[in-house]
Structure 1
Amino acid sequence: MHQQTASRATNLRLTSIDIVRGLAMIVMALDHIREFVSNAPFDPTDMSQTTPAYFFTRWITHLCAPTFVFLAGVSVFLASAGEGRGTGTLISRGLWLMLLEVAFVTPLGWAFNLHYGFVRLQVIWAIGGSMILLALAARVAAPRIVLAIGLAIVLLHDGLNAHAEIFGAMAPAWAVLDDFQIFKPWPGHVIASIYPVLPWFGIMAAGYGMGGLFQLPAERRGPILRNLGLTMIAAFIALRAAQLYGDPKPWLLQRDGLFTLMSFLNCTKYPPSLLYTLMTLGPALLLLGLAERLPLVLADRLVLLGRVPLFFYLLHLPLYHALSVLVVWARGYPVGWMFVDAITIGHTPLSASTDYGIGLGGVYAIWVCGLLLLYPACKAYARIKRTRRHHWMTYL
């Protein structure tokens, strides 16, 4: 009887994690198709130019990266039962993710070009680097110590305020570790350190250290996660209102209450500030505490996506890029420039001219179309992964 109860708790635990991870992936896809095809001539977080629709379309996607990274830490704990086992496997997976970011995600996902003139070190890179650091930490320290390390990084990182340029020749190394920087390692090549590893490792280490919560039965775990989530949200509101510490970007009174709220929520992601982390992980923990209450028909679909996260990620970027090419072609514009090196075309494939893009309604429509194409592919791969169990599938 005890064994059956433990098995049921484990199943529910993994289900709640996959539900939230699947939901985060769906929202993440919205942000990426917005970058690919939006005709907005402004940054959605620029208070002087943005609109509420564009701002909140961008803001809701902030929840994705911290949720991915935190749950990666939780998953490592559950896989090793908090004993630091499998260090070699974790390091190899981390290196594999970092290689994928450089060799596939930027050239074939974002740029459709193999020149490798522009490399974006983003969330897959940060997860891979954090896994390597976590493997080393978990090997020598108990989960509670890893939790303390992670919380210390999250809490104190904003006080560090050390930018890469002060390190001279070592600036690129520091940028990869702890600063948002764009640098040129050699002529004709640019590397953008968008997700520096250290602050994201802090979030992953916190997830690993809190992994024991997910071994509790659902009826005990749920209230704890909900209370933690609400506490983090309250801490965000209090610290953000005080404007004493936690984010380098202050909020300012705007032309009306809605825009003031937008300014209040407009926290720093690159690298993630303390307030950004509280603002995003608070709702994530709240969702983890509520996930098992979702209707079964919705939960099952989210679980499926949450169990093949890397497959979804690697597939969605070229798919949405291809859909954006079709949009440009269908509107009668040339598409050849969408296949050139990203160093030539700028930050996103459609940033060369807003004439090529479409409005926010069209962005949402293409987002939904992409999800409808992605779901059957993920379902087929999940079935293959479940039935064949090849070792290489653990890396995808």
Structure 2
Amino acid sequence: MASEPIVVVGGGLAAARAVETLRTEGFDGDVVVVTSEPHRPYERPPLSKDYLRGQAERESVFPLGEDWYREHAVEVRTHATAVGLSATEHRLTLADGATLPFGKLLLATGSTPRPLQLPGNDLRGVHLLRTLDDADRLSGALLQASLEGTELHEGPARVAVVGDGWIGLEVAASARQLGLDVTVIGRDAHPLEHVLGPELGEVFAQLHERHDVRLHRHATVTGFTGSDGQVTGVDMADGTHVDASIVVVGVGVTPNVGLAEAAGLDLRDAAEGGGVAVDGTLRTSHPDVWAAGDIASIPSPTYGRPLRVEHWARANDSGPHAARAMLGAADEYDILPYFFTDQFELGMEYTGWVDGPGGYDDVVLSGDPAGEAFAFWLRDGRVQAGMGLNVWDRMPEVEALIRSGKRPDRATLEAFVP
């Protein structure tokens, strides 16, 4: 199979970084990118932030220019949906019936947002946000609303965001920055509770409330109301109704493991986060197939368990790691999870891993969460993860604490912000 191309399935950052690495590492064979979208590979964080607000150019979402693919002889097949994979026969089948042979294959198929299968979910004005086209539609609606307001109510147009995770809160912040009236509907007591726990989740709750975002907590959405095919609001189980001419549903994503499953590749159990099981080189259970990005469940030497992470940094790091492994590198992936967000005046960096609120037994704060602060999540006295709020360039210190396995005293952590 040495003469067959390396094929990368996916249109996100992991795919872009993988093909870039193949070329910078000297691979001069054929490389083909297969993506179901009409665009070359792009990155997603701007889609809920500056691009959504119309403050970033379209070209800014693409890590590699169109001319880069041409100059480096990388073929990008857009509008090409992979529907079948035979790992043993080294063949990929596309929706149009075409087949594509490969010598080695990288699955970087990302995730799909979970819709709410509720009455009214097909009304105009109900949005999901995952793709660049999704962002274009939602951005157009938000920008238009910010200019015109709404015919239904006096004052700013009303936006309801269903879901209080990262995407939901970033969209809420962007909509509010555009001057729109924003309500966030969450199922837990605190935003981001399933990720950060109640202590830091409340920091983000207070941030949004300071900016006049209304929060509904412990809420269950039962359906969407509409008029003449256009959404007019959101109904909740307790009888509450939220008026809205724009609704954004952000209740999580599902990793796209269908190709891997159909090919008989090993998958990770849901209790371990799901995804495609890979080893430290990101190789799957087939020796010529690798996985990267959202779908890859990667063993962590630091945490002693596989981790599947749905953030920009994992795509940015795992794509190149898989590419080098496809060229013969044997080093183990041992990069700590990292993510960031920007909402209103708050910028945040986080590194490490905490398996939900039950994954830690103490939180130590240093500084003022409304200004500059650090937070540390501990288990048995050892730092599992750390977050900097409006404090930059100190994640290496947090990583050192995590990797050391030591039990720092509380006073040391509380003094982290001078």
TM-score range for the pair, normalised by the shorter chain length: under 0.3
Structure number with higher helix proportion: 1
Larger radius of gyration: 2
Normalization by structure 1: what TM-score? 0.25
Structure number with higher strand proportion: 2
Identify which of structures 1 and 2 has the higher relative contact order when contacts are C-alpha pairs closer than 8 Å and 6+ apart: 1
Normalization by structure 2: what TM-score? 0.24
